[in-house]
Chains A and B, each alone.
Chain A
Amino acid sequence: MVPVTQERKNIARPPTARERAVDVSFRWITRIVAGLTAVVVALIVILVAKQAVPAIVKYGPHFVVSTHWDAGKGQCGILPEIVGTLLSSTIGVALAAVFGIAVAVFLTEEFIPRWLESVLKNVVTLLAAIPSVVYGLWGIFVVIPAIRPGCNWLHGHLGWIPLFSTPLLSVGLLPAALVLTIMILPTVTAISRDAIAAVDPLLREAAFGMGATRWETILGVTLPTSRRGVYGAIVLGLGRALGETMALAMLVGSANVISPSLFSPADTLAALLANKFPEAASPLDLGALMYAALVLLILTLLVNMGGEWIMRRDSEGEGAKRAGTKTGTKEVAK
Chain B
Amino acid sequence: MTVTASTSPPFATAPRVGKVDLQKLERSLRRPRTLFSFCMSVSCSILALLAAVPLFSVLLMLVWRGGARLNLALFTELPPAAGMRGGGIGNAIVGTLLVVLIAALMSIPVGVLGGVYLAEINPDGRSAAVVRFCAKLLTGLPSILAGVFAFTTVVLLTGHFSPLAGGLALALLMLPIIMLTTEEAVRAVGAEMSEAAVGMGATQAEVVWQILLPTALPGILTGVLLALARAAGETAPLLFTMTFSDYWLTRHLMEPTASLAVLIFNFSKSPFENQKEFAWAASLVLVFIVLVLTLGGQALSRRAIKLAGTSP
B203 at interface, CB cutoff 8 A: yes
In the bound complex, residues from chain A placing their C-beta under 8 Å from that of B294 are: 125-126, 129
B50 at interface, CB cutoff 8 A: yes
A296–B142 touching, CB < 8 Å? yes
In the bound complex, residues from chain B placing their C-beta under 8 Å from that of A102 are: 43-44, 47-48, 51
Distance in Å: Cβ of A298 to nearest Cβ of chain B? 11
CA distance A151 to B305 in the complex (A): 48
Q: For window 272-318 of chain A, which residues contact chain B by CB distance below 8 Å? A: 273-274, 277-278, 290, 293, 296-297, 300-301, 303-305, 307-308
A141–B117 touching, CB < 8 Å? no
B117–A142 touching, CB < 8 Å? no
1/0 per residue, CB under 8 A from B, across A30-60: the answer is: 1101111110110110011001000000000
Q: A14-B201, A240-B140, A270-B142 are in contact. Are A131 and B287 (CB under 8 A)?
A: yes
1/0 per residue, CB under 8 A from B, across A112-138: the answer is: 000000001011111101111111111
Distance in Å: Cβ of A277 to nearest Cβ of chain B? 4
In the bound complex, residues from chain A placing their C-beta under 8 Å from that of B118 are: 34
CA distance A110 to B5 in the complex (A): 8
B134 at interface, CB cutoff 8 A: yes
In the bound complex, residues from chain B placing their C-beta under 8 Å from that of A14 are: 201
Q: A293-B148, A300-B140 are in contact. Are A131 and B203 (CB under 8 A)?
A: no
A142–B36 touching, CB < 8 Å? no
A131–B144 touching, CB < 8 Å? no
Q: For window 201-230 of chain A, which residues contact chain B by CB distance below 8 Å? A: 201, 204-205, 208, 213-219
1/0 per residue, CB under 8 A from A, across B97-131: the answer is: 00000000000011001101110011000011011
A99–B51 touching, CB < 8 Å? yes
A274–B239 touching, CB < 8 Å? yes
Distance in Å: Cβ of A178 to nearest Cβ of chain B? 9
A140 at interface, CB cutoff 8 A: yes
CA distance A307 to B136 in the complex (A): 11
A243 at interface, CB cutoff 8 A: yes
Size class of the B contact interface (CB-based, 8 Å) = 35 or more
In the bound complex, residues from chain B placing their C-beta under 8 Å from that of A158 are: none
Partner of A44, one of B40, B145, B199, B287: B145
B1–A245 touching, CB < 8 Å? no
Interface residue tally for chain A (C-beta within 8 Å):
100
B264 at interface, CB cutoff 8 A: yes
Count of A-B residue pairs with CB < 8 Å:
284
Partner of B138, one of A30, A41, A51, A305: A41
Q: Which residue of A27, A36, A303 has the most chain B CB atoms within 10 A of its CB atom?
A: A27
Q: A40-B138, A103-B48 are in contact. Are A34 and B145 (CB under 8 A)?
A: no
B247 at interface, CB cutoff 8 A: no
B153–A47 touching, CB < 8 Å? yes
A252 at interface, CB cutoff 8 A: no
Q: A41-B137, A142-B61, A250-B268 are in contact. Are A131 and B261 (CB under 8 A)?
A: yes
Stretch at the interface among A16-24, A61-69, A161-169, A255-263: A16-24
Q: A30-B121, A102-B44, A133-B235 are in contact. Are A22 and B203 (CB under 8 A)?
A: yes
Interface of A is mostly: helix
A304–B54 touching, CB < 8 Å? no
A191 at interface, CB cutoff 8 A: no
B233–A245 touching, CB < 8 Å? no
B41–A215 touching, CB < 8 Å? yes
Q: Which residue of A20, A27, A130, A142 has the most chain B CB atoms within 10 A of its CB atom?
A: A130
B44–A41 touching, CB < 8 Å? no
Q: A123-B55, A136-B268, A274-B236 are in contact. Are A129 and B145 (CB under 8 A)?
A: no
B229 at interface, CB cutoff 8 A: yes
B1–A124 touching, CB < 8 Å? no
In the bound complex, residues from chain B placing their C-beta under 8 Å from that of A176 are: none
A304–B140 touching, CB < 8 Å? yes
CA distance A132 to B58 in the complex (A): 12
B298–A215 touching, CB < 8 Å? no
In the bound complex, residues from chain B placing their C-beta under 8 Å from that of A31 are: 117, 121-122, 127
B145–A48 touching, CB < 8 Å? yes
Partner of A138, one of B5, B58, B141, B235: B58
A160 at interface, CB cutoff 8 A: no
Residue of B nearest to A47 (CB): B152
Partner of B264, one of A99, A107, A137: A137
In addition to A123-B52, A126-B55, A142-B61, 11 A-B residue pairs with Cβ atoms within 8 Å of each other are A30-B121, A31-B117, A31-B121, A102-B44, A103-B47, A103-B51, A129-B229, A130-B290, A136-B265, A270-B144, A307-B140
Give the 7 A-B CB pairs with smallest separation, nearest first: A243-B142, A131-B233, A304-B140, A23-B203, A102-B47, A26-B205, A245-B236
21 inter-chain pairs at a CB distance below 8 angstroms, sorted by A residue, are: A22-B203, A23-B205, A27-B205, A31-B117, A31-B121, A34-B113, A37-B131, A37-B134, A102-B44, A108-B1, A109-B5, A125-B298, A130-B287, A182-B54, A214-B5, A214-B41, A219-B40, A273-B148, A277-B240, A290-B148, A301-B137
User: B-contacting residues of A (Cβ < 8 Å)?
Assistant: 11-15, 19-20, 22-23, 26-27, 29-31, 33-38, 40-41, 43-44, 47-48, 51, 98-100, 102-103, 105-111, 120, 122-127, 129-138, 140-142, 182, 185, 189, 197, 201, 204-205, 208, 213-219, 236, 239-240, 242-246, 249-250, 270, 273-274, 277-278, 290, 293, 296-297, 300-301, 303-305, 307-308
